[in-house]
C-alpha cells in the first residue's frame, strides 16, 4: 500500500508537469498544438504509470522511459561536434522528440532519481530549460559552422559550378529587371484597347511596385524556412503564370490583377537570388561576383527595351475575334517578357539547394553531398578529377522547432491548416528577431539607407522620362499653326491634319475623307453641308462650333469631342468604337521612349564593371557612400536640363553613377545578417525599397512641368542622408559569411 501511494503521488506530479508543458506549447506555437499535447501527455502518463509498476523493484531507476516508450532518453546531451542527418538517420540525439511530434521546447540533462518525485522534477527540468542558454548554444554552433563552411568553400574552389549557377540566377534577376519596364512600355498602346483614364494609367504604373513589395516580404521570409531554391521556384512560377495570363485578358481590372500577381511573384527574386548565390561564394570572391550578378538586372532592362522597340510599334501584328476579343502587338510584347522567368524556372530545376541552408536546419548529409558536387564539378573542369573531397563531417546547428505532425488520424485539410499556421508563426518569429537588440541598430540604419536610395533613384528615373515627354510637348506646341477666319468651299481633305488651331472659320460643302486628325482644334467655326468619312482622331476637339446638314460616317468624332457645339439636321452613321484619349504618341515618339530607356539602362554598364572590380578592394561602405555622394552632386546638374538631349545625357550620368551604390548595398545586406535570417531581412528591406519607390514616383512626377527645384532638393537630400548613414554601418569586407 505504501508503494502504491508512492506511485500515485509520482503519477500526479508527472501529470501536472506535463500539463504545464502543454500550456507553454499553446503560447509558443498555437492552441491547436497545445490541445494535441494535452492528449499526448494523458496517453503517455498511462504508459509511464504502467512502466513504473513493471519496474517497482528497481530502486536505482535512472531517468525517464526510453525511446521505445516514446519519450526522451536519459542520456546526457551528445557532443555536437559532428553533424548528423535528419533525413537519412532520423533526428539527432540532441534533437530527439517525444512521440515524434513536437520538438519546440528544448530538454535538459537529467540525473538519477530514487523516487517518482525525482522523475517528475527531472522531466520538468528538461522541458523548461532556459531558452536563452539554448539560443546561446545555437549561436555558438552558427559561429563554428561559419568558420568551417568558409574553409570548405575554399577547398571547393571557384569554377564551373559557380559560373553555371551565376547564369541560372542571372535569368531570375533579369526577369525582375524586365518586370519594371513592361507596364511603362505598353501603356501608350494599352490605353487604346482599354480606354484608360489618367488615374487608371497611374494605378497600373504603381501596381507592379506594390506587388513586388508584398512578394519581397513574403518570399524572403519563406526562403529562410523552406529553402532558397524551392521558394524561388514557387515565386517565379507565379510570375510566369500571371504574366502569361495578362497578355490575354481584355478588361482593365483583370489586367491590373494579373500584373499585381505577377509583381508579387517576381518580388522574391532579388532577396533570394543574392542570398542563394552568396552561400556558394568564398569570402575573397563574394563582393566581386555578387556585383557581376547585378549586371543581369541591366540585361533585363535592355531586353525589355529591345523587344518593345521591335514589337509594339508594329500594330498590324494582331488578330481579333469579333469586337469582344483583340490581341494586338503590345500583348505579344507582354508574352515575350515572360520568357526570362520561364527560362529561369527550367534552369533552376537542375541546380541544388543551398548547402548552408541545409546545415542551418540540421541536414548534414544533404549539405555534404551538395558541397561534394561543387568540389568535384570544379575540380573536373580545372583538370584535377583525382582530387578527393576531404571533408567528412560538418557542423550543424541545433534546431529550436519543427513543423508539427498530427499523425494519420487528422484530416488532410486540418494537417495543412496546422502546418501553415505553424509556418506563419515561424516566419513571423524570424522576422521579429531582425529587430532584436542584437540586430536592431543595424536594421534601422539599413532601413534608412534603403529608403533614401530607393526614394531618390526610382523617383528620378521615372521623373526623367516624364520630363522628356513634357519637353517634347512643349516643343510640339511651339510648332502649332493657327488659322483665323478662313473660308473654305468645295475642298476635299484626304491628308493628315496635325497640330493646328482654326478659329472663326467657315467651311461649306467640304469633304474630310480617309484622314487622321492629330491635335486639331476648331473654335467658333461653321460647318455647312460638309461630309466626314473614315476619320481617326486623337486629341482633337470642336469647341463652340455649329454643324448644319452635316453627315458623319464611320468616324470617331463622337459627341463628346464636340464641346458646346450645335448640331442642326446633322447625322452620325456607323461610328467607330473607341476611347477618348487625351494624347496619343505617334510612332516616332514611341521609338524615342524605347530608345531613351535602352540608353538609360545601358549607361549602368560602366558602373557595374567598376563596382565589381573595386568592391573587394575598397570595401562595401566606401563604395556605397562614395557613389551616393557623387550621385548627390550629379543631381544639381538637373537644373541645366532644358532640352531633350540634355535630359537624356543626365539620365545616363545618374544611372551610371548610382548603380555602384545599389551593388554595394546588395552585398552589404547579404553579409550583415546570419544565414537563418538573411532572406527575411533582405526581403523586408527590399519591400521597404518598393514602398519608397511608390512614394518617390508619386511625389516627383507631381512636379513635372511645375518646377525642377523640389525634385532636385528631395533627391540630393535623400542621397546625402543615405551616404552619411552608410558610413555608420559595420564594414563586412574580409569577413566570413555569418
C-alpha cell at 46: 498511462
Report the interhelical angle of 131-156 vs 364-381 (nearest 10°): 20
**Predicted pLDDT of residue 450:** 93
**Predicted pLDDT of residue 58:** 45
> In whole angstroms, what is the distance from residue 545 CA to residue 533 CA?
19
Instruction: Indicate the pLDDT class of residue 163, thresholds 50, 70 and 90.
Output: very high
**Predicted pLDDT of residue 239:** 93
**Predicted pLDDT of residue 2:** 47
> In whole angstroms, what is the distance from residue 23 CA to residue 18 CA?
9
Instruction: Indicate the pLDDT class of residue 272, thresholds 50, 70 and 90.
Output: very high
**Predicted pLDDT of residue 343:** 94
Residues contacting 263, CB < 8 A, separation 6+? 179, 207, 208, 209, 210, 211, 212, 214, 215, 239
Region of 692 (left: φ > 0; alpha: ψ -120 to 50; beta: rest) is alpha
pLDDT (tens digit per residue) in 23-62: 544 444 444 444 544 555 555 455 554 444 444 444 443 3
> In whole angstroms, what is the distance from residue 169 CA to residue 296 CA?
9
Residues contacting 43, CB < 8 A, separation 6+? none
265 and 238 Cβ atoms separated by less than 8 Å: yes
C-alpha cell at 8: 500515485
CA distances from 424 to 226, 234, 430, 682 (A): 12, 17, 10, 18
Backbone angles phi, psi at 248, to 5 degrees: -110, -25
Answer whether residue 384 shows pLDDT above 90: no
CA angle, residues 248, 252, 254, in degrees to nearest 5? 60
116 and 10 Cβ atoms separated by less than 8 Å: yes
Instruction: Indicate the pLDDT class of residue 96, thresholds 50, 70 and 90.
Output: very low
Instruction: For residue 41, give the DSSP letter.
Output: H
**Predicted pLDDT of residue 522:** 93
Identify how many contiguous H helices and E strands the chain contains and give both numbers: 23, 16
**Predicted pLDDT of residue 166:** 93
In order, the DSSP letters of 65-133 are --GGGTS---PPPPPTTS--BTTTS-S-GGG--BTTTB--S--------SSHHHHHHHHHHHHT--HHH
Over the chain, what is the mean pLDDT? Answer: 77
> In whole angstroms, what is the distance from residue 380 CA to residue 377 CA?
5
**Predicted pLDDT of residue 292:** 92
**Predicted pLDDT of residue 616:** 85
Answer whether residue 218 shows pLDDT above 70: yes
Backbone angles phi, psi at 413, to 5 degrees: -70, -30
Single out the residue of 106, 119, 124, 98 nearest to residue 18, CA to CA: 124
* Number of neighbours of residue 214 by Cβ within 10 angstroms: 16
466 and 593 Cβ atoms separated by less than 8 Å: no
In order, the DSSP letters of 160-206 are HHHHHHHHHHHHHHHHHHHHHHHHHHHHHHHHHHHT--HHHHHHHHH
Answer whether residue 400 shows pLDDT above 70: no
**Predicted pLDDT of residue 236:** 94
CA angle, residues 583, 589, 594, in degrees to nearest 5? 120
- Give, for 156, the enclosing helix (H) or strand (E): helix 131-156
Single out the residue of 95, 100, 110 nearest to residue 17, CA to CA: 110
Residues contacting 524, CB < 8 A, separation 6+? 503, 504, 543, 544, 545
Residues contacting 250, CB < 8 A, separation 6+? 193, 194, 324, 325, 326
Average pLDDT over residues 444-458: 91
Answer whether residue 7 shows pLDDT above 80: no
61 and 119 Cβ atoms separated by less than 8 Å: yes
Instruction: Indicate the pLDDT class of residue 261, thresholds 50, 70 and 90.
Output: very high
Instruction: Indicate the pLDDT class of residue 497, thresholds 50, 70 and 90.
Output: confident
Neighbour-count burial for 276-295, b at 16+ CB within 10 Å, e otherwise? bbbbbbbbebbbbbbbbbbb
**Predicted pLDDT of residue 76:** 36
Backbone angles phi, psi at 683, to 5 degrees: -65, -40
Instruction: Indicate the pLDDT class of residue 658, thresholds 50, 70 and 90.
Output: confident
Instruction: Indicate the pLDDT class of residue 341, thresholds 50, 70 and 90.
Output: very high
Single out the residue of 208, 225, 194, 222 nearest to residue 328, CA to CA: 194
Answer whether residue 452 shows pLDDT above 50: yes
Percent of the chain with pLDDT over 70: 76
**Predicted pLDDT of residue 111:** 40
Answer whether residue 242 shows pLDDT above 60: yes
Q: Which residues pair with 693 in a beta bridge?
A: none
Single out the residue of 95, 196, 697 nearest to residue 401, CA to CA: 95
Residues contacting 172, CB < 8 A, separation 6+? 232, 236, 269, 272, 273, 340, 341, 344, 348
Of 192-201, 417-426, 611-620, least confident by mean pLDDT is 192-201
Average pLDDT over residues 412-439: 81
pLDDT (tens digit per residue) in 281-337: 888 888 889 999 989 988 998 898 888 888 887 655 555 555 556 677 788 888 899
Average pLDDT over residues 572-601: 67
Where do we find the cell 529550436? Answer: 400
**Predicted pLDDT of residue 73:** 34
Greater model confidence, 451 or 644? 451
Greater model confidence, 278 or 88? 278
**Predicted pLDDT of residue 713:** 86
Instruction: Indicate the pLDDT class of residue 406, thresholds 50, 70 and 90.
Output: low
* Residue 490 Cα to chain centre, angstroms: 63
Single out the residue of 588, 707, 690 nearest to residue 641, CA to CA: 707
Instruction: Indicate the pLDDT class of residue 78, thresholds 50, 70 and 90.
Output: very low
pLDDT (tens digit per residue) in 386-398: 888 888 888 777 7
**Predicted pLDDT of residue 235:** 94
pLDDT (tens digit per residue) in 359-380: 888 888 888 899 999 999 988 9
Single out the residue of 456, 459, 472 nearest to residue 645, CA to CA: 472
Answer whether residue 86 shows pLDDT above 50: no
**Predicted pLDDT of residue 348:** 93
**Predicted pLDDT of residue 14:** 52
Where do we find the cell 542584437? Answer: 438
HEC per residue, 243-311: HHHHCCCCCHHHHHHHHHHHHHHHCCHHHHHHHHHHCCCCHHHHHHHHHHHCHHHHHHHHHHHHHHHHH
Answer whether residue 584 shows pLDDT above 90: no
* Number of neighbours of residue 485 by Cβ within 10 angstroms: 11
Instruction: Indicate the pLDDT class of residue 72, thresholds 50, 70 and 90.
Output: very low
Average pLDDT over residues 163-183: 90
Answer whether residue 475 shows pLDDT above 60: yes
Compute the radius of gyration of the chain from its Cα atoms: 34
Three-state secondary-structure class, residue 730? coil
Of 150-159, 191-200, 253-262, 490-499, least confident by mean pLDDT is 191-200
CA angle, residues 617, 619, 622, in degrees to nearest 5? 120
> In whole angstroms, what is the distance from residue 599 CA to residue 588 CA?
16
268 and 256 Cβ atoms separated by less than 8 Å: no
- Give, for 420, the enclosing helix (H) or strand (E): helix 412-433
- CA distance between the termini of the chain: 60
> In whole angstroms, what is the distance from residue 52 CA to residue 47 CA?
9
pLDDT (tens digit per residue) in 107-138: 434 344 444 455 544 544 454 455 566 667 77
Of 136-150, 168-182, 377-391, 482-496, least confident by mean pLDDT is 136-150
Instruction: For residue 579, give the DSSP letter.
Output: -
* 566-568 β-sheet, strand order: 487-489, 506-508, 526-528, 546-548, 566-568
Strand ranges in 433-548 using DSSP code E only, listed in sequence order: 481-484, 487-489, 492-493, 497-503, 506-508, 511-523, 526-528, 531-538, 541-543, 546-548
**Predicted pLDDT of residue 92:** 44
**Predicted pLDDT of residue 589:** 61
pLDDT (tens digit per residue) in 689-731: 999 999 988 888 888 878 778 888 888 888 888 888 888 888 8
Greater model confidence, 52 or 177? 177
> In whole angstroms, what is the distance from residue 221 CA to residue 272 CA?
10
Amino acid at each position: 500500500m505504501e508503494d502504491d501511494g508512492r506511485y500515485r503521488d509520482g503519477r500526479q506530479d508527472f501529470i501536472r508537469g506535463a500539463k504545464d508543458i502543454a500550456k507553454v506549447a499553446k503560447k509558443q506555437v498555437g492552441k491547436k498544438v497545445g490541445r494535441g499535447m494535452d492528449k499526448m501527455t494523458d496517453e503517455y502518463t498511462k504508459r509511464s504509470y504502467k512502466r513504473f509498476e513493471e519496474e517497482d523493484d528497481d530502486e536505482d531507476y535512472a531517468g525517464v522511459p526510453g525511446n521505445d516508450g516514446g519519450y526522451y532518453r536519459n542520456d546526457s546531451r551528445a557532443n555536437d561536434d559532428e553533424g548528423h542527418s535528419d533525413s537519412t538517420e532520423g533526428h539527432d540525439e540532441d534533437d530527439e522528440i517525444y512521440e515524434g511530434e513536437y520538438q519546440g521546447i528544448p530538454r535538459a540533462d537529467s540525473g538519477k532519481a530514487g523516487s517518482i518525485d525525482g522523475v517528475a522534477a527531472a522531466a520538468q527540468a528538461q522541458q523548461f530549460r532556459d531558452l536563452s542558454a539554448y539560443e546561446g548554444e545555437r549561436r555558438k554552433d552558427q559561429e563554428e559552422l561559419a568558420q568551417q563552411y568558409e574553409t570548405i568553400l575554399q577547398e571547393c574552389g571557384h569554377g564551373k559550378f559557380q559560373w553555371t549557377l551565376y547564369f541560372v540566377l542571372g535569368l531570375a534577376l533579369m526577369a525582375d529587371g524586365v518586370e519594371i519596364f513592361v507596364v511603362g512600355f505598353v501603356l501608350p498602346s494599352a490605353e487604346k484597347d482599354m480606354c484608360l483614364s489618367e488615374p487608371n494609367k497611374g494605378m497600373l504604373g504603381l501596381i507592379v511596385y506594390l506587388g513586388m513589395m508584398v512578394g519581397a516580404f513574403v518570399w524572403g521570409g519563406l526562403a529562410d524556412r523552406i529553402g532558397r531554391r524551392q521558394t524561388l521556384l514557387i515565386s517565379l512560377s507565379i510570375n510566369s503564370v500571371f504574366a502569361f495570363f495578362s497578355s490575354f485578358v481584355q478588361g482593365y481590372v483583370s489586367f491590373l490583377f494579373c500584373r499585381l500577381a505577377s509583381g508579387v511573384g517576381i518580388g522574391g527574386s532579388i532577396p533570394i537570388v543574392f542570398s542563394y548565390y552568396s552561400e556558394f561564394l568564398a569570402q575573397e570572391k563574394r563582393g566581386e561576383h555578387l556585383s557581376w550578378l547585378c549586371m543581369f538586372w541591366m540585361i533585363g532592362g535592355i531586353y525589355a527595351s529591345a523587344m518593345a522597340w521591335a514589337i509594339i510599334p508594329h500594330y498590324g501584328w494582331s488578330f481579333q475575334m469579333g469586337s469582344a476579343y483583340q490581341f494586338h502587338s503590345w500583348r505579344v510584347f507582354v508574352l515575350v517578357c515572360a520568357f526570362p522567368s520561364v527560362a529561369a524556372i527550367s534552369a533552376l530545376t537542375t541546380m541544388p539547394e543551398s548547402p548552408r541552408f541545409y546545415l542551418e536546419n540540421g541536414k548534414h548529409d544533404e549539405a555534404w553531398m551538395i558541397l561534394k558536387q561543387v568540389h568535384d564539378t570544379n575540380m573536373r573542369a580545372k583538370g584535377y578529377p583525382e582530387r578527393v573531397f576531404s571533408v567528412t563531417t560538418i557542423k550543424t546547428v541545433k534546431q529550436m522547432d519543427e513543423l508539427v505532425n498530427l499523425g494519420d488520424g487528422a484530416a488532410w485539410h486540418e494537417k495543412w491548416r496546422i502546418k501553415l499556421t505553424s509556418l506563419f508563426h515561424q516566419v513571423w518569429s524570424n522576422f521579429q528577431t531582425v529587430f532584436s537588440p542584437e540586430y536592431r541598430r543595424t536594421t534601422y540604419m539599413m532601413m534608412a539607407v534603403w529608403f533614401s536610395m530607393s526614394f531618390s533613384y526610382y523617383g528620378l528615373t521615372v521623373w526623367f522620362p516624364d520630363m522628356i515627354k513634357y519637353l517634347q510637348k512643349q516643343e510640339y506646341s511651339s510648332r502649332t499653326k493657327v488659322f483665323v477666319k478662313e473660308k473654305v468651299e468645295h475642298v476635299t481633305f484626304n491628308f493628315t491634319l496635325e497640330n493646328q488651331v482654326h478659329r472663326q472659320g467657315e467651311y461649306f460643302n467640304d469633304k474630310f475623307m480617309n484622314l487622321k486628325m492629330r491635335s486639331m482644334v476648331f473654335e467658333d467655326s461653321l460647318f455647312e453641308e460638309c461630309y466626314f468619312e473614315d476619320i481617326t482622331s486623337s486629341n482633337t476637339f470642336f469647341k463652340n462650333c455649329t454643324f448644319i446638314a452635316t453627315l458623319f460616317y464611320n468616324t470617331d468624332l463622337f459627341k463628346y469631342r464636340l464641346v458646346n457645339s450645335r448640331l442642326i439636321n446633322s447625322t452620325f452613321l456607323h461610328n467607330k468604337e473607341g476611347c477618348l484619349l487625351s494624347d496619343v504618341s505617334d510612332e516616332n515618339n514611341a521609338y524615342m521612349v524605347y530608345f531613351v530607356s535602352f540608353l538609360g539602362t545601358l549607361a549602368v554598364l560602366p558602373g557595374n564593371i567598376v563596382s565589381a572590380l573595386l568592391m573587394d578592394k575598397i570595401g562595401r561602405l566606401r563604395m556605397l557612400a562614395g557613389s551616393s555622394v557623387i550621385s548627390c552632386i550629379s543631381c544639381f546638374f538637373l537644373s541645366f536640363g532644358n532640352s531633350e538631349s540634355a535630359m537624356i545625357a543626365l539620365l545616363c550620368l545618374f544611372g551610371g553613377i548610382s548603380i555602384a551604390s545599389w551593388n554595394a548595398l546588395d552585398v552589404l545586406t547579404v553579409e550583415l545578417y546570419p544565414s537563418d535570417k538573411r532572406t527575411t531581412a533582405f526581403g523586408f528591406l527590399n519591400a521597404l525599397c518598393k514602398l519608397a519607390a511608390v512614394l518617390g514616383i508619386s511625389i516627383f512626377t507631381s512636379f513635372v512641368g511645375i518646377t525642377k527645384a523640389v525634385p532636385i532638393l528631395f533627391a540630393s537630400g535623400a542621397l546625402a542622408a543615405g551616404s552619411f548613414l552608410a558610413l555608420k554601418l559595420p564594414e563586412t569586407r574580409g569577413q566570413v559569411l555569418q
